[in-house]
A and B are shown apart, each in its own frame.
Chain A
Amino acid sequence: MNYAEEANRCRRCGMCHAVCPLYKAERREQFVARGKVRLTKISEEGRIELEDRAKTTLYNCLDCRACMEVCPAGVNVSRLVKGMRKKIYDKHGDNLLMNVALEHLTSYPKRMELARKFLKLYQTTGLSSLVQLVPSLKEKEKILPAIPKRSFRNELKARDVRPGKKGKVAYFISCTTDILYPQVGEAVLEVLEACGYEIYPMNDGTCCGVPQVGYGHVERAKEMALQNMRSVPDDIGYILNDCATCGSALKEYPELFEGTEHEELAQNFAKRVMDISEFLIKHTELPTGEKLGIQVTYHDPCHLNRAQNVKQEPRDIIAHSGSELIEMENSGQCCGGAGTFGITHFDLSQKLLKQKVGNIKATGAEAVVTGCPACRMQIAFGLKSYYKDIPVYHPVELIARSIREKGM
């Protein structure tokens, strides 16, 4: 992408002010798209160097894309911000911690499994009380839910793949599902099998690369993308996933490889990627299970609602499970989780989270449903901190449960 050209499309109309959750919270121009687009423009025109202050501005972004939804000029703010972060990384590198995390840890499922075991140990032993001594960490580390006994990848190993009449679909295993919410992966398999599909789990794949792209480590992200793309046979028509962020990242692989030899491969991969809710509604005959009869509210993940334009399908799934949906106000406003933003910008993130929890509370729903495990983690934390500990589900879990309860 020609960043200068893209940035020059901005009309400086300020429409993004009206929707940017960070701008609304901070009211300083650096927090809104218009300011970031400006930095991009003058940096690309060689009028300014992107140093610390610019970096701060460019990291003050949730990638929630609310701005892109209203931008009359159609500026691709997300790509500009990511592009400038890469530019900064290419010039200045990253600190040791981030380098270890992004280059050597999160991109390797086996190492993540080790990290998971460590976290588990840490949560179950006295180790965690040590960290609690550091007040700034104390709050933040509560965001992490209880680590389950087994990762989803490990559960998969212990499980046979059932052949299905309808053919094969690939399933991308997101890190959050793998490490924190294996029950979601379990539900996806159950429901797809009930619909007659054989699942091809992308065991040889790795993380989608969002953290890498987000911090400008684009070369590493490309290696990971190649690994993911090569882990699915060509004859599989759909690559399904249950994480909004992973899904949008996979769909955006062509952007990573724009103008390179792998562009076609990426396009061929990306067009097969689909969110699980969309797939279930559009391409299957969902079995009808027991009516769950619970009242839920739905949070629209930014990367599902805006990045993938999947809004109605998760709602249809809720209805199909016999649950009642009570819409919350501003269901599409970012929960503030936004990957690592919730940790790096804890206070700001909590501001957004409190608004989200307030809107949830106002519905009186007994559970929250959302199509993204990262939002789920944030919202579950918010509910515990600012309301009460009501459950958060992935839409697919509702269907799985209704099928299970009917004994199908």
Chain B
Amino acid sequence: MDLQAFLQVIHSKNIEVQCDPQDTSCFAYDAANLESLPGAVVFPKDTQEVSVILEAANRFKVPVTPRGAGTSLAGGTIGIPGGVALNLTQMNQIIEIDEENLTAIVQPGVVTYELHQAVEKLGLFYPPDPGSMKMSTIGGNISVNAGGPHCFKYGVTKDYILGMEIVLADGRIIRFGGKYIKNVSGLDLGSLFIGSEGTLGVVTEATLRLIPMPETKRTILAVYNDLDEAARTVSDIVRNKIVPATLELMDQESMRLIERIRPANLPLDAAAAILIAVDGPASQVEKEMKLVETLCLKNGAREVRVARDDKEQEKLWEGRRSANGAMSQNCKAMVVEDASVPRSKLPDMIRKCKEIAERYHIPCAILGHSGDGNVHPHLLLQELTQEEWERADKAVDEIFRAALDLGGTLTGEHGIGLVKKKYMNWQFSPDTMDLMRSLKNTLDPNQILNRNIML
């Protein structure tokens, strides 16, 4: 790695760069419990600059780590020490919102929520809503194929990407896709790059699909004494051909913690509760709400609370969104996992997580996107001793083993990053791993981009 030669190019092209450790140390972390100090941070303002940066990095074999808002929970922005952090937050323009074609063209540094606000003003809807949407960037979302509560009905980030501009590891700029919904021309490169966690190329522009804003949305909170009843309700709702906008499950511990910081009248003695939102045309929503309510009760809900107005509805969601914070306040460090299992296995997975955490004496609160089988066990570390970290590591190992045994996957939305890399071999056969690596080698033979991440 010849960082000095690289920097010479950067300086000669007047690209904004910071090298002082007093600056670069502000880019040494993300939301995972890891760190690595970059040797330089670059702040390109357009695609051309990204291309110059990668061309030079490739020439001088300098490892590069793309970075959006740095909210990765998987250590996806933790680069090779002394390498380059490629900060994309300066490229934050919404280039266009096309109301006729229902598309938006954005730069990678646009914050997800800012896009939401911009399209909602026009009565349009961009559904992907990761819990971090108020800070995460579209580039980061694309790179981990982020999801959120809306995913069950509306799909994940991938379902809203129509086209992209990518700068490859050697600086070449490629573009594919565009403002069309139907497209079977050539290989589906989108699928290759979406979710590739910055290992194959840098997203410098994206064309996104928008949909009209649903007319109304209503929320129900259903409370259960038994986890299985909650799970049965979810299956029953789906069997009845209702597709709620969201189906969020909170376990007893989560509710207890949420209630402490943002009281929303959550039942503290119940085993679990699901937060169900139904959206669509008003008349249909009314009908579906009634049916959902009946199904909840039929499957053993001890209480069904229908939010009477927007305010009550907002309060419930506010509570759910504050979950992460509530948990932060009850630990010294938090390990958030993200395994995803077939929907029918969700209660098994939750029970398994609880059992494992208990065995390793680590408090654990569980949230789940019960519609899509994605579970987030939050391990709440209290001491931060070496011994406790080791216990946590072992617990995480077992959680992943359990997820895979149940026919699931390591990560539903947060990505593999650095923290889950070692489990890749558990999930994939050597041949599959080889294929992934050979794709990586074809696109990035010098291992410039996110060399230490995922593969």
Interface residues of A (CB under 8 A from B): 8-9, 11-15, 17-18, 27-30, 34-35, 38-39, 42, 48, 50-54, 57, 71-74
Distance in Å: Cβ of B365 to nearest Cβ of chain A: 13
Known: A28-B89, A72-B324. A14 touches B22 (CB 8 A): no
A53, B328: Cβ atoms closer than 8 Å: no
A53 touches B23 (CB 8 A): yes
Asked if B26 and A18 make an inter-chain contact with CB atoms under 8 angstroms apart, the answer reads: no
Complex interface residues of chain B between 39 and 94 (CB less than 8 A to chain A): 43, 69-71, 87, 89-90, 92
Q: Kindly state the separation between the CA atoms of A17 and B134 in the bound complex, as whole angstroms.
A: 8
List, sorted by A's number, 15 A–B pairs whose CB atoms are closer than 8 Å.
A12-B30, A12-B31, A13-B325, A13-B328, A17-B134, A18-B135, A38-B26, A39-B22, A39-B26, A48-B22, A50-B22, A53-B22, A57-B23, A72-B324, A72-B325
| Contact status B334-A11, CB under 8 Å | yes
- Inter-subunit contact A57/B30 (CB<8 Å): no
User: Contact between B132 and A14 (Cβ–Cβ < 8 Å)?
Assistant: yes
CA distance A42 to B29 in the complex (A): 12
Assuming the contacts A27-B90, A48-B21, asked whether A14 and B26 have C-beta atoms less than 8 A apart, the reply is: no
A399 CB, min distance to chain B CBs, angstroms: 32
Asked whether A54 lies within 8 Å of B31 as measured between CB atoms, the reply is: no
Contact: B69 with A14, CB < 8 Å?
yes
User: Do the beta carbons of A29 and B26 come within 8 Å of each other?
Assistant: yes
Q: Is the interface of B mostly helix, strand, loop or mixed?
A: loop
Give the top 4 A-B pairs by smallest Cβ distance, nearest first.
A72-B325, A18-B134, A35-B26, A53-B22
CA distance A54 to B21 in the complex (A): 9
What class of interface size applies to chain B in its complex with A?
Answer: 35 or more
CB-CB under 8 A from A39, the residues of chain B are 22, 25-26
The listed residue (B30, B87, B322) touching A72 by CB distance below 8 A is B322
Given the contacts A11-B328, A17-B69, A72-B328, A38 and B28 also touching, CB distance less than 8 Å: yes
Asked if B70 and A29 make an inter-chain contact with CB atoms under 8 angstroms apart, the answer reads yes
A42 with B31: CB separation less than 8 A: no
CB distance from B68 to the nearest CB of A (A): 10
Q: Which residue of A lies closest to B88 (CB)?
A: A27
Say whether B326 faces chain A, with CB atoms less than 8 Å apart.
yes
Q: Complex: how many Å from CA A135 to CA B113?
A: 39
Q: Which residue of A lies closest to B16 (CB)?
A: A28
Q: Shortest distance in angstroms between A1's beta carbon and chain B's nearest beta carbon?
A: 17
CB < 8 Å: which of B90, B135, B328, B333 contacts A14? B135
B20 contacts partner chain A, Cβ-Cβ < 8 Å: yes
B329 at the A interface (CB under 8 A): yes
Q: How far is the CB of B12 from chain A (nearest CB, A)?
A: 22
Bound Cα distance A13, B136 (Å): 10
CB distance from A119 to the nearest CB of B (A): 37
**Does B128 touch A at the CB level, under 8 Å?**
no
Tell me, rounded to whole Å, the shortest Cβ–Cβ distance linking B412 to chain A.
19
Which residue of chain A has the shortest Cβ distance to B68 in the bound complex? A14
Q: Give bound CA distance, A76 to B90, whole Å.
A: 28
